[in-house]
Structure 1
Amino acid sequence: MIIATAGHVDHGKTTLVKALTGIDTDRLKEEKQRGMTIEPGYAYADFGCEEPLAFVDVPGHERFVRNMLAGVAAIDFALLIIAADDGPMPQTVEHLAILQLLGVQRGAVALTKTDRVAPERVNEVAVQIATLLSTTPMQDARVFPVVATTGKGVQALRNHLADAAASIPRVAMAGNFRMAIDRSFTLSGAGLVVTGAVTSGRLRVDEEVVVSPQGETLRVRSIHQHNRPTDVASAGRRCALNLAGSSLKRISVERGDWLVAAAAHAPTERLDVRLVVHASCPSSIEHWTPVHVHIGAAVVNARVAILGANSVEPGQSSFAQLVLDRSISAMHGDRFILRDQSARRTIGGGRVVDPFGIHRGRAKPERIAQLSAMERATASEALDALLAICPDGVSLQPFAQAWNLTPDEQTVLRERHAMICFHDRDVLVGIAAQRWTAMRGQLTKVLREWHQSEPTSVGPTDAALAAQMQFQRMPTAWRAACKALCDDGLVVRQGVSLRLKEHQPVLSALDALLLEQISLLLSRAGLRPPIVGELARELDMNQATLVEFLERVSRMGHLVRVAKNRYFLPETLDKLAGIAAQLAVESPTGRFDAASFRDRSSIGRNLTIEVLEFMDHARITHFSGGSRKMLD
């Protein structure tokens, strides 16, 4: 169990920790001289539990709240310390607000310096404490009168902490490894050592770990967990890791950084959050308010974008996006604290809902609905809710990263849900099985109706099919469902047209004869069909009459108009697309350029450009950066 002190300056936090553990947590010369804690201090003690209890002694002075926040980023139990002579003071109230906003549920109160006051004063302060805690999760916390300098009452507090440690639920070893670094120093003969609380997963000696958000990889030379050497760093414990690696010459590992498994390294600058404005905040938080965000052991400047409103009143909550001024590492569920621009007052806090906030459309109703789904208690419940409201499916990799799921956890999650998975370019998307079945049924229904109304047509193009279904462009999931129908043999793609397997277009006798003659000429020409003028001369036809016919049969899908004066047989276009696909497969990058396509197809430079631009428009290929890649 990790226990953090909290309370006003000079109320005896460090003295009490020493009485409980025998360790003086003030290690800095300046702290000794001033008699005041400046940096968080750490102590470990054996209370007869399964493993030592970890204590984090935080500064109480208002000037060092930033340091205090670094110490309480990941704790299990709060020890609120209040001096009997002073009673609750301003930093007592602020520290209590911080603990509440961080979601700390368990705690106790140490009423110190009781030897300096009369018994009546002890009772008076006890009443003040009960009032102070009455609206917080610590309202049932026990109060222990103590005199840390003599040891009076300390044993009762030790017993209570041991009982609390025995009853605290074990932290599940779920998720990828993450540890918030709150201290970094160099030891002679060992090198770099960092300490912090492990929030998820586990890490073993000799494994690699990523410093996030920098992205550099280091190796773990040794581990101390709750001040004992061990081979494994586990969630719910404070650990010290001795790190090594050549990248230490390039980066500085500091408080506020994270050590994470490679899969959990996903820096972000936009956090979609559930924001809670504390009741003690003197005014509402307005849209685009500048703040200091404390998350993990880091502090970063940010702006608050309120989603769906212009402000949030004290005591109220809302979805918001924190727009950070630099990248940080964060995951769903991470707690944060907001302080005002002057860093003098705690004004709110909350939890990260989606660490990968979007820039455009962040306040649209559909995005708010997605955030509501992401707020569910478990990843399984959140995925269920998202599948129900996302008609185009859920991108599974960003979801898995947001929830910090390991590969095995992702596999189990997919197996538990009735969903179909497909790839959209390089992204794995999941869609509810019921919705997928309905989409396939709707596609075949629309194609059947098309064939009935256009019996001479091969079938609609993708664009025509989208228009028929009242889409401006065929959405990702619908394209995937259409491809699946083709893969299953129920739908045939003929050139750029789609038709049901059983459909055969019927032309008039004259049109069929002319199309047969044209098809013969185009077939003889191979991959480089003649232009319209050449076709007219071969057929001894008026060019305008031929163009009208070519336009009509290309709209039916019998031919494909690739350029203004050039038509292809669907099978010829298929062969050219096959050349492009082969070039992409042979390329290490999966991309190819126009020159390699020209050389492989031997159709010449100008026609190569026309063909490739047509394939871009038809979403067979995608052009960017001077080269192309194949689309599904």
Structure 2
Amino acid sequence: MKHLILGTAGHVDHGKTALVRALTGVDTDRLEEEKKRGITIVLGFAEMELPGGIQVGIVDVPGHERFVNQMLAGVGGVDMIMLVVAADEGVMPQTREHFDICRLLNVRKGLTVITKTDLVDTEWLALVQQDVEGLIEGTFLEGRPVCPVSAKTGDGMGALKKSLAEIAGEVEDRDSRGILRLPVDRVFTMKGFGTVITGTLLSGNVKNGEAVEILPGGLQARVRGMQVHSKSVEEALAGQRTALNLQGVEKESIRRGDTVTVPGLLTPTYMVDAVVTLLPDVEKPLKNRSLIRFYIGASRGVGNIVHLDREQLMPEEQGYAQIRLREPVVAMGGDRFILRSVSENRTIGGGEILDPQPRKHKTSDPSVVPSLEVLKEGSPEEKAVVFLRHAGFSGMDLAGFRCRLPLAKGTAKKILQRLRERGEAVTLLADTLHLLHMDHLKKIEKKTLSVLTGYHRSKPLEPGIPKAELASRLSTMIGEKVFPSILNHLSRGGKVIVEENRVRLPEHKVCLTSEEEEAARKIEALYKEAGLAPPYSRKLSGELGLEESLVAEILRHLVERKSLTHIQGDLFMDTKALEAGREKVRAVLEGEGEISVAGMRELLGLTRKYLIPLLEYFDGIGFTARKGDVRVLR
């Protein structure tokens, strides 16, 4: 069964609510003040089934200019509109503003309804029809039905329903495989149920019992029940008017404009890159950094518009801009928005979001506009490349791409895999399909090789730089999470050699000078002769007349060669002597099961100065374990 949302649009008191009542039998004016004044103040909702089994949710919006905020909250998720014009008044200011808003939001389907035909004669009706045709000329409503009706007498209602069914059949289904997004347009409590929110399910689906997140506040909740078209269901799909009974949140913590979504996927933003259009009847240009009111989905905020390709936007012009907001909003690439002036409180333009998570641009950066042109006109693959470039050294995972490109998960995966196959990107983390643009990898590679070259030059006797130190030196470029993947990629490509816990250049070899070789032989012989009671390394410099730094490097070199073993601090021992002592201890423990400190001292002939560090070393490598006052084999 097909589901879609139909919205009304038109001037105050032009019969929108009466028309909805005639179509559905539902009076969408719920408030006492609405009934008293005879005008709609807040959003009203109804539903109907059109021929062909098409389920239609209807959003009835206020027509008064004071309630345009309400209108904008309701029209954001509609699939088609009924532009309503009263026969006794014709096209009025809010008719034009509502129609402008629908076009700016890229509504592409709909029809025009001339109401209250029972109040005028045929000659006057013909004049109003001409007025309407002048308004819709050159727009998506040109050539679509213009239906004269009387909600009072019922004249024309049958033809209207038939036309609605024909146009509804042309509306494409929304993507229920996309990311769950339900902008909240109402929130209330029901006795015995708790918090209930309503909205139009823009994309994705939601099921009973699922965990959800409410943004921008980051509230966590669970769906305990839901209704679509006033009927309880187990699952709601994109394109349906949906009411969710939420568990775990209070009504007061949710407000209109919040978005119900999948936990941990979308990120609220204070900035968006966009293509912006200024309406032709705006009286003055929109200057750089002008204060504007920003409307997206059911939310609104205030911010500044920063033009990226000009100093000011003239009426009827289109340009690229970054909108910097004072409060966060939830947005995705392709979302439409409306701009209204702060001073005059009127609609001045709108546009399409190209990047919902941009970096803060400098207007002098020559790469900004070409990138935005690709995001506006390019293919999904071309857009993915731009986003990957913008992600910098951090790269971007599948979830990040889907927040910027409104694609089904499978489609997005295929696009990213093609980028990888073409050599434009490499995989950092396979489980989340976390990619890095090849240009950024080359920069990381260049930095890594520079660090290694410098390290080898300053410490030629070391076999390589410790991994932890290399990660620290690259931390301004790449995070700890992706460092192993970067290192693995460079290693597979033969750029670096990873040996145990160190990294080196392939050409690096530890080569001692003749003087260093002589010093190493002396140190090695000294430790060999001393056995398990060697000098502490801090004394070697003075005894041998060598620089402390050189002694330290030679000791590290001898450890790497496995001639010496580092026990702790500045205590090293001859490896063969250490192994011989270890075998003595093993023989005793295998025969007697345990050995005391005194027994160990007698067995190895050591003073406490050497015995205690040696015991701790044996414990540390898992050879022995302390059990009370004795040692046993681990």
- TM interval, shorter chain, is 0.7 to 0.9
Residues 78-125 of structure 1: CA deviation (Å, up to 9, x unaligned): 111112332211111111110011110111111223343343333333
Shift of 1:151: 1.5
Q: 1:509 aligns with which of 496, 500, 514?
A: 514
Cα distance in structure 1, aligned partners of 2:523 and 2:56: 86
- Matched residue, 1:208: 211
Distance 1:574 1:101 in 2: 72
Are the aligned partners of 1:439 and 1:481 in contact in 2 as well (CA < 8 Å)?
no
The superposition leaves residues 209-248 of structure 1 with CA deviations (integer Å, 9 ceiling, x where unpaired) of: 2222222222222222133332111101111222233x32
Among 467, 472, 484, the residue aligned to 2:489: 484
Note if contact 2:109-2:171 (Cα within 8 Å) is conserved in structure 1.
no
CA distance in 2, matches of 1:525, 1:275: 80
Partner of residue 382, structure 1? 383
Question: Which residue of 101, 110, 114 maps to 2:113?
Answer: 110
* Rounded Cα–Cα distance in structure 2 between residues aligned with 1:386 and 1:360: 14
Find the counterpart in structure 1 of residue 168 from structure 2: 165
Find out whether 1:11 has 2:8 as its counterpart. Answer: no
Letter in 2 for 1:420: V
| Matches for 1:48-67 after TM superposition, within 5 Å | 48-67=51-70
Note if 1:24 corresponds to 2:30: no
Looking at structure 2, the residues matched to 330 and 146 of structure 1 have their Cα atoms a distance apart, in angstroms, of: 39
In the alignment, the residues of structure 2 paired with residue 292 and residue 378 of structure 1 have an alpha-carbon distance, to the nearest angstrom, of 31
Partner in structure 1 of residue 303 of structure 2: 302
Residues 62 and 68 in structure 2, CA contact (< 8 A), matched pair in contact too: yes
CA distance in 2, matches of 1:28, 1:401: 38
Contact 2:401 2:412 in 1 (8 A): no
What is the one-letter code of the residue matched to 1:513? E
The Cα shift of 1:295 comes to 1.3
Given candidates 92, 97, 110, the residue that maps to 1:94 is: 97
Match of 1:80 in 2: 83
The code of the aligned residue for 1:395 comes to M
Partner secondary structure for residue 151 of structure 2: coil
- The 3-state SS of whatever aligns with 1:127 is helix
Matching residue of 2:238? 235
Cross-structure match for 1:320: 321
How far 1:357 sits from its partner (Å)? 3.1
Tell me how far apart the structure 2 counterparts of residues 113 and 135 of structure 1 sit (CA, whole Å): 26
SS in 2 for 1:262: coil
Mapped contact 1:300–1:325 kept (Cα < 8 A): yes
Task: From the superposition, tell whether residues 174 and 369 of structure 1 become closer, same or farther in structure 2 (CA, over 3 Å).
Answer: farther
Cα–Cα, structure 1 residues 263 and 375, in superposed 2: closer, same or farther, change >3 Å?
farther
2: distance between equivalents of 1:516 and 1:314?
85
Contact 2:111 2:144 in 1 (8 A): yes
How far apart, CA to CA, are the structure 2 residues paired with 1:439 and 1:214? Answer: 37
Q: Which residue of 1 aligns with 2:47?
A: 44
- Structure 2 CA distance for aligned equivalents of residues 382 and 409 of structure 1: 14
Specify the code of the residue in structure 2 equivalent to 1:312. L
Identical amino acids, percent of aligned pairs: 31
Sort the Cα spacing of 1:377 and 1:173 in 2 relative to 1 into closer, same or farther, 3 A.
farther
* TM-score normalized with structure 1 length: 0.74
Q: Give the aligned partner of residue 422 of structure 1.
A: 428
The amino acid across from 2:401 in the alignment is F
The alignment partner of 1:49 has SS state of coil
Residue identity in the other structure for 1:355: P
Asked if the contact 2:145/2:163 (under 8 Å) is kept, the reply is: no
SS where residue 199 of structure 1 aligns? coil
CA contact (8 A) 1:40 1:68 kept: yes
**Native 8 Å contact 2:207 2:236 kept in 1:** yes
Distance 2:180 2:519 in 1: 69
Closer/same/farther in 2, CA of residues 276 and 191 from structure 1, 3 Å limit = same
**Pairwise CA distance, 1:423:** 5.4
Residue 498 in structure 1 maps to residue 512 in structure 2: no
Q: Which moved more, 1:222-231 or 1:426-435?
A: 426-435
Letter in 1 for 2:105: L
Deviating more after overlay: 504-513 vs 156-165: 504-513
CA distance, structure 1, for counterparts of residue 565 and residue 349 of structure 2: 61
1:80 partner letter: L
**Compared CA separation, residues 49 and 439, structure 1 to 2 (3 A):** same
Structure 1 unaligned segments of length 5 or more: list them: 562-566, 577-601, 603-632
Contact 2:51 2:162 in 1 (8 A): no
Residue deviations 1:558-617 (CA, integer Å, cap 9, x gap): 8999xxxxx9979999999xxxxxxxxxxxxxxxxxxxxxxxxx9xxxxxxxxxxxxxxx
> Secondary structure of the equivalent of 2:202?
strand
Q: Secondary structure at the match of 2:125?
A: helix
Answering whether residue 225 of structure 2 is matched by residue 222 of structure 1, we say: yes
Show structure 2 runs of 5+ residues with no match.
Answer: 569-612, 614-634
Change (3 A) 1:172 1:449: same
Q: Indicate the residue corresponding to 1:253 in structure 2.
A: 254
Aligned CA distance change for structure 1 residues 362 and 560 (closer, same or farther; 3 Å)? farther
The CA distance in 1 between the partners of 2:243 and 2:391, in whole Å, is: 43
Give the superposition deviation at 1:303: 2.0
Question: 2:10–2:98: 8 Å Cα contact kept in structure 1?
Answer: yes
How has the CA–CA distance of structure 1 residues 90 and 492 changed in structure 2, closer, same or farther, with 3 Å as cutoff? Answer: same
Q: Give the drift of 1:4.
A: 0.8
SS class of match (1:26): coil
Query: What is aligned with 1:266?
Result: 267
Relative to structure 2, which stretch is displaced further, 45-54 or 146-155?
A: 45-54
1:131 is paired with a residue whose SS is helix
Instruction: State the structure with more CA Rg.
Output: 2
Q: CA deviation at 1:286?
A: 1.8
The one-letter code matched in structure 1 to 2:489 is A
The answer to whether residue 139 in structure 2 is matched with residue 145 in structure 1 is: no
**CA distance 1:309–1:482, change in 2 (3 Å):** farther
Q: Which residue of 2 aligns with 1:120?
A: 123
CA contact (8 A) 1:264 1:404 kept: no
Alignment map for 1:364-443 (pairs within 5 Å) = 364-375=365-376, 379-387=380-388, 392=393, 394-396=395-397, 397-403=399-405, 411-418=413-420, 419-422=425-428, 429-431=434-436
In structure 2, give the amino acid aligned to 1:69: L
**Would the aligned equivalents of 1:40 and 1:71 in 2 still touch at CA under 8 Å?**
yes
Distance of 2:320 and 2:265 partners within structure 1? 24
CA contact (8 A) 2:174 2:202 kept: no
Alpha-carbon distance, 1:265 to partner: 4.3
**Is contact 1:387–1:393 with CA below 8 Å preserved after alignment?**
no
Deviation at 1:490, TM superposition (A): 6.3
Distance 1:139 1:461, change over 3 A: farther
Comparing 149-158 with 397-406, which one deviates more in the overlay?
397-406
- TM norm structure 2: 0.74
* Distance in 2, Cα, partners of 1:172 & 1:65: 28
Contact 2:496 2:503 in 1 (8 A): no
Report the Cα offset of residue 160 of structure 1.
0.6
- CA 1:337–1:517: 2 relative to 1, 3 Å: farther
C-alpha separation between the residues in 2 aligned to 1:337 and 1:484? 45
3-state SS of 2:50 partner: coil
Name the counterpart of 1:288: 289
**Alpha-carbon spacing, 1:519–1:16, altered in 2? closer, same or farther (3 Å):** farther
Per-residue deviation, 1:74:
0.3
- Which is worse superposed, 340-349 or 61-70? 340-349
Specify the alignment match of 2:334 in structure 1: 333
Contact 1:81/1:109 (8 A) holds in 2: yes
Once the 2 structures are TM-superposed, how far is the Cα of residue 255 of structure 1 from its aligned partner?
1.9
Measure the CA separation in 2 of the matches of 1:364 and 1:434.
Answer: 18
Deviations along 1:266-318, one digit per CA (max 9) or x if unpaired, are 22222222222222222222222222211111122222222343322222223
Letter in 2 for 1:134: E
Q: Does 395-404 or 52-61 show the bigger shift?
A: 395-404
Q: Which one-letter code corresponds to 1:301 in the other structure? A: V
Answer whether contact 1:304 1:321 (CA < 8 A) is retained: yes
Distance in 2 of aligned mates of 1:166 and 1:351: 26
Change (3 A) 1:205 1:440: closer
Aligned residue in 2 for 1:629: none
1:488 shift after superposition: 6.9
